[in-house]
Amino acid sequence: EVQLVESGGGLVQPGGSLRLSCAASGFTFSNYRMHWVRQAPGKGLVWVSHINSDGSSTTYADSVKGRFTISRDNAKNTVYLQMSSLRAEETAVYFCLTDLVGGRNYWGQGTLVTVSS
Partner 1 sequence: EIVMTQSPATLSVSPGERATLSCRASQTISSNSAWYQQKPGQAPRLLIYGASTRATGIPARFSGSGSGTEFTLTISSLQSEDFAVYYCQQYHNWPFTFGPGTKVDIK
CB contact at 8 A, 10 and 21: no
d(CA 111, CA 60): 19
Residue 61 CB, shortest distance to partner 1, in Å, is 5
Q: For residue 78, give the nearest of 1, 23, 3, 5 by alpha carbon.
A: 23
Binding to partner 1 in span 15-44, by CB under 8 A: 35, 37, 44
Please report whether residue 102 would count as binding partner 1 according to CB under 8 A.
yes
What residues line the site for partner 1 (CB under 8 A)?
35, 37, 44-47, 50, 59-62, 95, 97, 100, 102-105, 107-110
